[in-house]
Structure 1
Amino acid sequence: MTTVATDNPEVANSVDVNGIITNYHDVGTGRPVLLIHGSGPGVSAWANWRAVLPALSQAHRVIAPDVLGFGFTERPEGVTYDLATWTEHLIGFLDALALDEVAIVGNSFGGALALNLVTHHRDRVSKLVLMGAVGVPFEITEGLDTVWGFEPSLENMVDLMDVFTHDRSLLTEDLARSRLEAATRPGAHEAYSAMFPAPRQRSVEAMTVPDAHIRGIEQPTLIIHGRDDEVIPLSNSMRLNELIDQSQLHVFGQCGHWVQIEHTADFTRLVGDFLA
């Protein structure tokens, strides 16, 4: 493990994962919790989880990596971005940190990675939290098609931020500018464009975990969704609640796709109590 001295809060620690230098945050002590971020343009572990890291790390060791192809993790030439590759990278990351078992919190795209990881490596996961998760079949929403089809411009980023939230007062032009800057770092948009090419319904299907595998999940599972989510339909979480026997579903009213940002205190309290 290497700790990098930098003024950029998105850059923290780095570790070699099968030859890929992986950026990650590692705060707190206690039972380990792995946070897997979503797939918005310019996203990183820090951008996704910065609001909840302080509270969750009071009782747990909270570890949040930049998934392969995102943030400040290396993007090797010729890599194929798919569910198997992302899952392999995450398992390699756990191995590199000598983490035999973790609780997982997966957001959106990260929910599909969490589902694939737990169904293929059951002994590595103690508990599961899925928030606005991909991973079951659904007809792609206009919101998700906009997210995955993002083309860099400030106007497009402002429009995209509007899709993510129910409370528009959270949105500022400064936030849009910072996310645009992150989305256009060298190599970032090229990698992003390769992940979810049109027609993007195929990407939804490629991120789907078979029902039979999901039914086999025995870990206690907390499912969270914003009622007014325009990116991932609430029906996804209702379906996951049906499939996973040991699951509970919590729906936040007046909330879009960013539960952890729009309802930070309630989200961290709910997840913290579940993980305790």
Structure 2
Amino acid sequence: MTSTSSPAIGRSVDASGIQTNYHEAGSGFPVLMLHGSGVGVSGYANWRYTMPEIGRHFRAIAMDMVGFGYSACPPDAQYSLDYWVDHVIDFLDAMGIEQTHLLGNSFGGGLALAVTARHPQRVSRLVLMGSIGTEFTAPAAFNAGHGYEPAVERMRTLLKNFTFFPDSITDEAVQLRYQTSTRAGYQSTFEKLFPGSREQKMKAMITPDEQIKAIANEVLLIHGREDRVVPVETSERLFKLIPKSELHLFGQCGHWSHIDRAAHFNQLVLDFYGRP
């Protein structure tokens, strides 16, 4: 299967000059789903199992951020939190969406947090899963993709960092992300996304405490107790900072609670979004 036939390639929309790849399912009030930053990630790879369930009750949309997946990778792009926040807002504008729920995983959580802090009127409720966005001590697995060179078994090893149950990393998941990682120009772009150490990568996505404390939206924080990529203390810290927040911890669960605890995760998110 070539990259041009990848199931990760969906529809495309021009978001202020950035061709943005996205998938969607269902109808109704929108839920914009923001992916993580691991090697070979895309909106589809991150959310392909979650999107149909959310789409039973909402309009679930998974976009590829600029520089990731099958969205544009402008050669002159200056990747930063500001740049990605602008891309999210430009995407919402291009899709004609005035307000949305947000669901963010890891990097996507830090991004969703920043979007909510800076553009609260564009966000209804926010769900953060294994999210970054505040200071924490980054474990080794946080930077596991640094120096990655495309190989199927290397990808399999990387993905096993994200789950509590190793058997949940299927051949399909490995091939899907490996395929994206072999896209022309991918390696050079990936190196530009987060240059430097894992600590620099984490700090580049921080929203200042005072901005976090000012968030008035309802926020659900979800974290796996055995997360080896982003420590659970990160969500505990966000819980202390965000006034209208609640925290749910899953035991026997890694960084991908939407995989390790799929059924419970989906119901938790749907119940939160569906409240009056």
TM-score by length of 1: 0.94
Matching of residues 225-244 of structure 1 within 5 Å: 225-244=223-242
Q: How many Å separate the matches in 2 of 1:264 and 1:153?
A: 28
Q: Deviations over 1:95-127 (max 9, x none)?
A: 111111111001000011111111111110010
In structure 1, stretches of 5+ residues that fail to align are 1-5
**Alpha-carbon offset, residue 81 of structure 1:** 1.0
**Alpha-carbon offset, residue 259 of structure 1:** 0.9
Q: 2:87 aligns with which of 55, 67, 89?
A: 89
2:186 aligned residue: 188
Q: How many Å separate the matches in 2 of 1:214 and 1:82?
A: 19
2:10 paired with 1:8? no
2:158 aligned residue: 160
TM-score by length of 2: 0.94
Q: How many Å separate the matches in 1 of 2:80 and 2:152?
A: 28
Q: 2:116 aligns with which of 100, 115, 118?
A: 118
Q: 2:37 aligns with which of 33, 36, 39?
A: 39
2:51 paired with 1:57? no
2:243 aligned residue: 245
The alignment covers a number of residue pairs equal to 271
Matching of residues 101-116 of structure 1 within 5 Å: 101-116=99-114
Q: Is the 8 A contact 2:45 2:176 kept in 1?
A: no
**Alpha-carbon offset, residue 11 of structure 1:** 1.5
CA RMSD of aligned residues (A): 1.4
1:3 aligned residue: none
Residue 166 of structure 1 aligns to a residue in which SS?
coil
Residue 40 of structure 2 aligns to a residue in which SS?
coil
**Alpha-carbon offset, residue 152 of structure 1:** 2.7
* Cα 1:65–1:136 shift into 2, 3 Å: same
Residue 223 of structure 2 aligns to a residue in which SS?
strand
**Alpha-carbon offset, residue 162 of structure 1:** 1.7
Code of the aligned partner of 2:90: G
Q: How many Å separate the matches in 1 of 2:32 and 2:118?
A: 16
**Alpha-carbon offset, residue 7 of structure 1:** 5.1
**Alpha-carbon offset, residue 156 of structure 1:** 2.5
Q: Is the 8 A contact 1:40 1:148 kept in 2?
A: no
* Cα 1:87–1:181 shift into 2, 3 Å: same
* Cα 1:140–1:21 shift into 2, 3 Å: same
Q: 1:271 aligns with which of 253, 269, 272?
A: 269
Code of the aligned partner of 1:54: P
Q: How many Å separate the matches in 1 of 2:197 and 2:242?
A: 30
Q: How many Å separate the matches in 2 of 1:85 and 1:166?
A: 33
In structure 2, stretches of 5+ residues that fail to align are none
**Alpha-carbon offset, residue 136 of structure 1:** 0.4
2:64 aligned residue: 66
Matching of residues 133-212 of structure 1 within 5 Å: 133-173=131-171, 175-212=173-210
**Alpha-carbon offset, residue 141 of structure 1:** 1.0
Q: How many Å separate the matches in 2 of 1:148 and 1:269?
A: 34
Which aligned segments of 4 or more residues in structure 1 are displaced greater than 6 angstroms? Answer: none
Identity of aligned residues (%): 43
Code of the aligned partner of 2:244: Q
Q: How many Å separate the matches in 2 of 1:174 and 1:14?
A: 24
1:78 aligned residue: 76
Q: Is the 8 A contact 1:149 1:196 kept in 2?
A: no
